[in-house]
Structure 1
Amino acid sequence: MLLVALCAVLFALPAAAAPPVETYGRLATLEQVLVSPDGTKLAYVRPEGESRKIMVQNLADGKMLAAVGVGNEKLRDVFWVGNGRVAFSTSTTSRIRSNSSSIEFTGRSEIWQTRVYDIEKHTFQLVLDKTPGVGNFTNGGVDVGIVDGVPSIYAVAMRISGVDSLESLYRVDVAGGPTRLLDSGPSIGAINTNWVLDGTGATIAKTEYDRKDGDWRLLVRVGPKWYPVLSENAPLDEPLVVGLGPAPDTLLIQRVEEGHYVFKPVSLKTGKEGEALALKNGVLKFLFDGVTRRIIGVVENDDANTMTFFTPEDQANWNKIKRAFPGERVTRESWSDNRKQVVVKVQGPKTGAAYMFVDLAAGRASMVDDMQAGLGPDEISTTSMTTYKAGDGLEIPAVLTLPKGRDPKNLPLVVMPHGGPQSFDTIDFDWWRQALASRGYVVLQPNFRGSDGYGPAFTAAGYGEWGRKMQTDLSDGVKHLAAQGIIDPKRVCIVGASYGGYAALAGVALEPGVYRCAVAVSGISNLHRFLMWKRGNLGGGRNDTLRFWHRFMGVEGDDESGLDAYSPALQVAKIKAPVLLIHGKDDLVVPYEQSQFMADALVAAGKSVELVTLAAEDHWLSRGATRTQMLQATVSFLEKANPPN
């Protein structure tokens, strides 16, 4: 039940057997819990079978104002457009076709569309529908701006002009007015263009990045014209506009300087850079004012994801919220424009993992719902951050989850490397991690060198170390836990998705004595073939995407021959452990053929392998049924190859 008084929900449950695996695999109870700008309503996503519904609820009396079905499309984003409309973006895996009779796009792609729902009128508006030269799909997500007090949608789309496909910015009037073309960049594919809005909805700046040569420039708008104010060549580390700076008429630019991220304000009038912001522990993300769009604080990259604000009032209000949940991890999910009505995620021994609504003006807190139905505090294992030293002395941060109700001595272990590889794991609730821990496994999620979140120097330590030190960082974690007596080094498996899927395969191929089994979900098995596929999708030639992969894989120039030694599909003779491969048919990030290559190679070598195909699933396990199918197959495989008891 929604909005139950806080005191009524913080109770202890008696010890019980672990819930079925399906409890962890099904879609989350709620997703994207968003308070309206005026703080009077909640919008959230609730699963309904294999689909999802967007619910809108009045906070004053708990009345449901809307229940909007999404259908069979994959829901990607939900956001408020003012206080009376909710918009949502969906995607489908399809072949795109322009509405130009002379040009047809035949490649498969993830097609995004955005719809706006009017809560009072119960009507829908498809963004960019019937816009000349544009299909009714967008290039990813959209933004919201306020023009003369009226909210509008800002969408980037591919516009056909003669023989050119131009990346173009449109403003869509959700009140029924005309859709306006605001600006266009160069042809799609050659240069990436990103626009910056101010608090009035004006396009005040944009960046252009040449993907081939790495030339970047910042332009500001003066009247109808654009003027360049900054430029540099950045073939690998593109500068980023974080957003509007804390001071008026400034942007905040992120750069890499001497192995560190620096954040400098840039004047929109003169183009001059100011002094870098002094930040404590590095930045996980920035916080923005909902009206002015200026930066008002940061989320620090520490174990607590500490929120630090620039004004004493904001800091005092956030500290008040944290004190309401002593001993628990509290992170912000959404807030109203005045930041007095806040939705937070609360995780800890009392709450388990749940969404809470806090009304600072009324001085009350109430529960929205658990993050995962059927998982209370007694069904959620304890997760913490730990560190250990790699073989060369580098300190490796990692997420450690100990199975609930088991003495942490001599236990079986699942090593679970993240994807990316330039990503990182945190101690936020993770259904996959919790499912494996519920079966009796210790779960270790190393943030190996090359991971994001710990500064450019730590990321750079992974360059050229794909299959090398990025891999041994994982097995060094096994040694660390074994030395502590927490795990039995003879009962270790490795499980991962995307890059983590590659690391799982490389674990049994390149370090065959460490792991008893491997599960690779959407994993890369043949590095050279993967890069060939990437080049084909990107039109061949040089670009920033290939430079990214080459940098991590250690490729110099165009010679990729050295990658065979680190390609699991070409090293199957060394594999002694059983392998489970799981892959979605609609994966457009790592093609399904990568798992097929691995399966064929293992079969030909007489090795133990299973291949599970997820029908109509993409790279992100977006559907509940296929997510559960993956989890059931993984747990069944692990329990046979590496019994937890």
Structure 2
Amino acid sequence: MFRWLMVALCAAVFALPAAAAPPIEAYGRLPTLEQVLVSPDGTKLAYVRPEGESRKIVIQNLADGKILAGVGVGAEKLRDLLWVGNDHIAFSTSTTARVRSNSSSIDFVGRGEIAQTRVYDLTTRTFQLVLDKTPNTGNFTSGVQVRMSEGKPMLYAIGLRFSGVESYQSLFRVDVMGGPTRLLDSGPSVGDISTQWILDGAGANIARTEYDSKDGDWRLLVRAGVKWYPVLQEKAPLDPPWFAGLGPEPDTLLLGRLEEGREVYRPLSLITGKLGEPLDLKTGVRGFIFDSVTHRAIGLVENDVGSTMTFFAPADQAAWGKITRAFPGERVTLESWSDDRKQMVVRVQGPKTGAAYMFVDLAAGRASIVDDMQAGLGPDQLATPKMITYKAGDGLDIPAVLTLPKGREPKNLPLVVLPHGGPESYDGLGFDWWSQALASRGYAVLQPNFRGSSGYGQAFTAAGYGEWGRKMQTDLSDGVKHLAGQGVIDPRRVCIVGASYGGYAALAGVALEPEVYRCAVSLAGLSDLHKMLVWLRSRMGGERNETTRYWRRFMGIEGRDESGLDAFSPALQVTKIKAPVLLIHGKDDLVVPFEQSQLMADALTAAGKPVELVTLAAEDHWLSRGATRTQMLQATVTFLEKANPPN
């Protein structure tokens, strides 16, 4: 249900009195709401609510708050949700399973994270499994889009079409109102080539890209009639150009590419096939904003601390400014909007609101609180993160998020260093349940955007190439030195916690810099880099693929000799470790295999070092289930409080 608290767009939101820290389960449970989407006509909301350990899609009338439908998802993991017109909801789920097709002759070896898409008809209360009855086609999808075509909302899905023993990545148009599903196009035979299709606002298939991961050949093709014509071709073993969306002007695409070490976006004319001048992006760009009807770019998300939204049209900019001014001192980000951009949902985070979804009706000049992002965590229970910058040992500026525990003086605090995964990712000021949980227990939490992170320009990312376990690692301990020098933290009470690459960084922290950290918690972290590459090659069909090249670039490998990785593999450096280690890993992890944590546990045990291994049953790499999120948090906090008491 809505918390129907009406506030004027210019009104203040008042904080509640201080309260005791919530139980750790409040942080680990599934979010109260996810994917809060306004219908195209602005009359309904669709959102995801937890229902025990599964999720339910709720559709609600905005005029009176009445629930129109509740759609249970079951045991599968809900990934994406989108409106298809005003009366249909498409949702994608995934499960870890063996890939099969509708053809008995096709059975792919091995397991994968398999996605399927269903459409719910709000009028008839019926479901449709996309591509389920399409001949010679698997009923799994790898991407869906929505367009208005022939006066009706259509769903465009990418699936696999089979012919004999060959399979072809293909684009289908699904008529959710009962018409036939049509095959629009097929790419080359699936192997090392991936295909991406580009649709215009009316659903016309106007362009496509093809990338051969094995040979590094990339090309962009434009359609003229029934034929495809290449207009751009490049050799790109890594970092191929990317399609950012339809350009601001008709008949243009926005193409992103690396030029002289910088991310550059250029419009490409579909008429002439020529690239235009680069867009003038003074702060860089984290993403573009697109019109819901034309699907052309109408603004961008700037590459600054606040991820500022800037619109090309003055009217759009004025409307957005009105919304952000309604929540002074708080961070406002767009979640969804109606086709006319008069009704929208925004996420608001700050000391007055906490972290909540707000429905904004620009036409009526009012806003309504939909609900908190996490049940039981209002403004009085949430710490306020802030961005800081410190110097690495070689002088490079390292941006980071610092979250301090509420109600404690920022002096001589215990610290948890919480590096992100990726490693090509970044931490910002959005609501983060993991750092909030740790801060609620009395720890300062530092989330460094070490070199190699994304979000700060290509030069910053490239500074991490070859620095895995080296400067990418010391960037973290340089943050500890910075906070210790300011007196904010006690350098004798520091632990390191992380997931995926962050899990590797946690293990490398106690192995490579044993004097810095009192303990380490690794969630799905890498421990033996050479064996990780061997596993990747076995899954990717050998050495010649973009994924393996990506990891080798960060790890600093040239040629065939990988023996140098041993010095940066925590499982092979356990004799240096002095601190206790907690390992946590999901059994269904297909990104970093469970074997990596088992190798580390065995090595530590053989060396007589203190170690615990917590197995998350039926969990993937992303902690998709509330029970295992809570299990991870409980194990982590119990371990931290013993190894590094907060008081």
1:102-121 superposed matches below 5 A: 102-121=105-124
8 A contact 1:3–1:62 mirrored in 2: no
How far, CA to CA, are the matches of 1:132 and 1:528 in structure 2?
43
- Which range moved further: 8-17 or 41-50? 8-17
Residue 472 of structure 1 and its aligned partner are, at CA, apart by 0.2
Counterpart residue number, 2:608? 606
1:302 deviation in Å?
A: 1.4
Which residue of structure 2 lines up, in the alignment, with residue 52 of structure 1? 55
Aligned counterparts of 2:317 and 2:25: Cα–Cα separation in 1: 40
Q: Normalization by structure 2: what TM-score? A: 0.98
Q: Deviations over 1:251-273 (max 9, x none)?
A: 01001111211100001011111
Over aligned residue pairs, what C-alpha RMSD do you find?
1.1
Cα distance in 2 between the residues matched to 1:322 and 1:134? 47
- What is the letter of the counterpart of residue 285 of structure 1? G
After superposition, the Cα gap between the structure-2 partners of 1:279 and 1:552, relative to the gap in structure 1 and judged at 3 Å, is same
2:21 is paired with a residue whose SS is coil
Secondary structure, counterpart of 1:96 in structure 2: strand
The aligned amino acid for 2:89 is V
Match of residue 477 from structure 1: 479
Gaps of 5+ in 1: none
Q: State the alpha-carbon separation in 2 of the partners of residues 105 and 330 from structure 1.
A: 45
> Offset at 1:189?
2.7
| Count of residues paired in the alignment | 644
What amino acid is aligned across from residue 362 of structure 2 in structure 1?
L
**CA distance in 1 between partners of 2:484 and 2:576 (Å):** 24
Whole-Å separation in 1 of the counterparts to 2:105 and 2:128: 28
Secondary structure, counterpart of 1:580 in structure 2: strand
Please point out which of 89, 93, 105 is paired with 2:92. Answer: 89
1:4 aligned to 2:4? yes
- Cα distance 1:103–1:120, how it changes in 2: closer, same or farther (>3 A)? closer
Q: Which amino acid aligns with 1:528?
A: H
**AA in 2 matched with 1:591:** P
Deviation at 1:618, TM superposition (A): 0.2
Report if the CA contact (8 A) 1:520-1:580 is conserved: yes
Aligned to 2:408: 406
The match for 1:77 is 80
Q: 1:395-454 CA deviation, whole Å, 9 max, x = no partner?
A: 000000010000000000000000000000001000000000000000000000000001
Structure 1 residue 505 displacement after superposition: 0.3
Q: Distance in 2 between matches of 1:578 and 1:553?
A: 26
Task: Output the CA distance in 2 between the equivalents of 1:5 and 1:627.
Answer: 31
Which segments of structure 1 move beyond 4 Å, counting only runs of 4 or more?
A: none
Deviations 1:273-307 (A, max 9, x none): 11111112111110000110100000112122111
TM-aligned CA deviation for residue 154 of structure 1: 1.0
Q: CA deviation at 1:5?
A: 2.2
Q: Distance in 2 between matches of 1:304 and 1:545?
A: 31
Out of 123, 134, 157, which is 2:126 matched to? 123
Contact kept in structure 1, 2:102 and 2:139, CA below 8 Å: no
Q: Tell me how far apart the structure 2 counterparts of residues 349 and 428 of structure 1 sit (CA, whole Å).
A: 13
Moved more, 315-324 or 299-308: 299-308
Structure 1 residue 17 and structure 2 residue 36: aligned? no
Whether the 8 Å contact between 1:92 and 1:112 is mirrored in structure 2 is yes
Range with bigger deviation, 102-111 or 220-229: 102-111
Q: Does 1:321 align with 2:326?
A: no
CA distance in 1 between partners of 2:320 and 2:535 (Å): 47
| 2:302 maps to which of 296, 300, 317 | 300
Structure 1 residue 105, shift from structure 2 partner: 1.4
Counterpart for residue 150 of structure 1: 152
Is the 8 Å Cα contact of residues 7 and 366 (structure 2) preserved in structure 1? no
Once the 2 structures are TM-superposed, how far is the Cα of residue 232 of structure 1 from its aligned partner? 0.9
1:558: how far off?
A: 2.2
In the other structure, the counterpart of 2:444 is 442
Letter in 2 for 1:279: L
User: What residue is the counterpart of 1:174 in the other structure?
Assistant: 176
Q: Deviations over 1:443-480 (max 9, x none)?
A: 00000000000111000000000000000000000000
Comparing 115-124 and 182-191, the one that deviates more = 182-191
Give the structure 1 partner of residue 185 of structure 2.
183
Q: Measure how far apart 1:213 and its partner are.
A: 1.5
1:378 alignment partner, SS class: coil
The Cα shift of 1:205 comes to: 0.2
Residue in 1 aligned with 2:492? 490
Output the CA distance in 1 between the equivalents of 2:446 and 2:492: 15
The 3 A distance-change label for structure 1 pair 319 and 563 is: same
CA deviation after TM superposition for structure 1 residue 102, in Å? 2.3
The SS at the match of 2:108 is coil
State the alpha-carbon separation in 1 of the partners of residues 6 and 442 from structure 2: 31
Q: Secondary structure at the match of 1:4?
A: coil
CA distance in structure 2 between the aligned counterparts of 1:307 and 1:370, rounded to whole angstroms = 23
Residue matched to 1:380: 382
- Give the whole-Å Cα distance in 1 for the aligned partners of 2:155 and 2:119: 9
Query: Matched residues in 1 for 2:543 and 2:639: separation?
Result: 41
Out of 542, 545, 548, the position equivalent to 2:544 is 542
Q: How does 1:161-560 map to 2 (within 5 A)?
A: 161-560=163-562
**Distance in 1 (alpha carbons) for counterparts of 2:354 and 2:152:** 40
Q: Secondary structure at the residue paired with 1:478?
A: helix
Matched residue, 1:574: 576
**Paired amino acid for 1:581:** L
Deviations 1:30-85 (A, max 9, x none): 00000011111000000011011000001111111110000000000111001111
- Residue by residue, what CA displacement relative to the aligned partner does 1:78-122 show, whole Å, maximum 9, x if unpaired? 110011111100000011122222232121001100000011110
For residues 431 and 415 of structure 1, the distance between their equivalents in structure 2, rounded to whole angstroms, comes to: 15
CA offsets 1:594-641 (integer angstroms, 9 cap, x no match): 000000000000000000000010000000000000000000000000
Q: Per-residue CA shift, 1:136-163, capped at 9, x if unaligned? A: 1112x31112112211111111221122
Matches of 2:375 and 2:151, distance apart in 1: 39
Of 98, 103, 121, 1:100 maps to: 103
Task: State how far apart, in whole Å, the 2-side matches of 1:443 and 1:464 are.
Answer: 27
* Residues in 2 aligned to 1:190 and 1:307: alpha-carbon distance in whole angstroms: 37
Q: Aligned partners of 2:33, 2:424: CA distance in 1, in Å?
A: 28
Matched residue, 1:38: 41
Q: Would you say the 8 A contact 2:360–2:366 is kept in 1? A: yes
Cα offset, 1:3, TM superposition: 4.8
Separation of aligned partners in 2, 1:412 and 1:302 = 29
- Tell me the percent identity: 77
2:135 to 132, 135, 141: 132
Q: What is the Cα deviation at residue 190 of structure 1?
A: 1.4
SS for the counterpart of 2:109 is coil
Partner secondary structure for residue 107 of structure 1: strand
Distance 1:511 1:189 in 2: 42
> How much does 1:547 deviate?
0.8
Q: How does 1:634-645 map to 2 (within 5 A)?
A: 634-645=636-647
Deviations 1:364-409 (A, max 9, x none): 1010000011111110012000000000000000000010000000
Contact 1:97 1:106 in 2 (8 A): no
Task: Give the whole-Å Cα distance in 2 for the aligned partners of 1:546 and 1:581.
Answer: 25
Q: Output the TM-score relative to the length of structure 1.
A: 0.99
